[in-house]
Amino acid sequence: MELITSKTKMIRKQIITRGFISFLVLCLVFFLPARTLKYWEGWVYIGIIFVCAAWTITYFLKYDPDLLERRMRIKEKEKEQKHIIRIASLLFLPTFIIPGFDHFYKWSEIPGLLIIAGEILVLAGYLIVIRVFRENSYTSRIIEVNPGQKVISSGPYAVVRHPMYSGTMLMYGFTPLALGSWWAFIGSGMIFILIIFRIITEERFLSDNLEGYKEYLQKTRYRLIPGIW
């Protein structure tokens, strides 16, 4: 019990540190280009992300701290994935920086109700990701196979093979709309392409290293969107 408590405290400390840094980074990339703190779209977006994150951390620290520990691993082992992550990191910047400049220079005119719809879809994407976490304790940030890991084919995994990516694409796909910028869709669109490449290479890795995954590919037909792909 003492070991578990010590481990939980260590995870909590790391998460709080990363969360504080993430908050500062988001504030900088949103409000510095916007040259104002009166950018409600940015504040609502930050609120959604951090309220959901706080609930997720609280819940899994209590019920599944091992999942949080796996989610904090960021160093990819596969060469292809390292390249994808590097490129994706560069594309995330314009997706989050452009909206602030857009707000300042008034490049986009998006109705408030449409922006709110975007915020709701971002929230929906995050909730899908949380649902995936509850279904699959082995959901890692990097592509790997852990000792004792089994193929999960229940819950959202019975609908698509990569439900976490479905939620992630919903989140980042509508981030530009939630932040009130048409131009930011350029960056998020490129992220979609990278996620597709990541999925293809991930399936190849799991087929070679996770027992039963080839059979799962035959059972669950679609990767991201039911009836489409």
Within-domain flag for 105: yes
- C-alpha closest to that of 164 among 205, 115, 124, 125: 125
Q: Could you give the number of structural domains in the chain? A: 1
Q: What's the predicted TM-score (pTM) here?
A: 0.87
Mean predicted confidence (pLDDT) in 153-172: 92
CA distance 175 to 30: 12
What pLDDT was estimated at residue 9?
77
The answer on pLDDT for 86 being more than 80 is no
Span 150-156, mean pLDDT?
91
Residues 202-213: what's their mean pLDDT? Answer: 90
Higher pLDDT, 66 or 133: 133
Phi, psi (degrees; rounded to nearest 5) at 30: -85, -55
Whether residue 78 is contained in a domain is answered as: yes
Q: Which structural domain range is residue 205 located in? A: 2-219
Mean pLDDT of 87-109: 88
Query: Residue 188: what pLDDT?
Result: 83
Structural contact between residues 67 and 133, judged by C-beta atoms closer than 8 angstroms: yes
Is residue 107 included in any domain, yes or no?
Answer: yes
If DSSP states are collapsed to H, E and C, what string results for the chain? CHHHHHHHHHHHHHHHHHHHHHHHHHHHHHHHHHCCCCCHHHHHHHHHHHHHHHHHHHHHHHHCHHHHHHHCCCCCCCHHHHHHHHHHHHHHHHHHHHHHHHHHHCCCCCCHHHHHHHHHHHHHHHHHHHHHHHHCCCCCCCCCCCCCCCCCCCHHHHCCCCHHHHHHHHHHHCHHHHCCCCCCHHHHHHHHHHHHHHHHHHHHHHHHHCCCHHHHHHHCCCCCCCCCC
Q: Is residue 229 part of a domain?
A: no
Identify the residue with better confidence: 138 or 122.
Answer: 122
Residue 113 is assigned to a structural domain of this protein: yes
Higher-confidence residue: 41 or 88?
41
Report yes or no on 225 lying in a domain: no
Of the two residues 36 and 140, the one the predictor is more confident about is 36
Is pLDDT of 11 > 90?
A: no
pLDDT in tens, 16-41: 888 889 899 999 999 999 999 999 99
Please state which of the ranges 83-87, 95-99, 104-108, 134-138 shows the lowest mean pLDDT: 83-87
Domain of residue 155, CATH code: 1.20.120.1630
Note whether residue 226 is domain-resident.
no
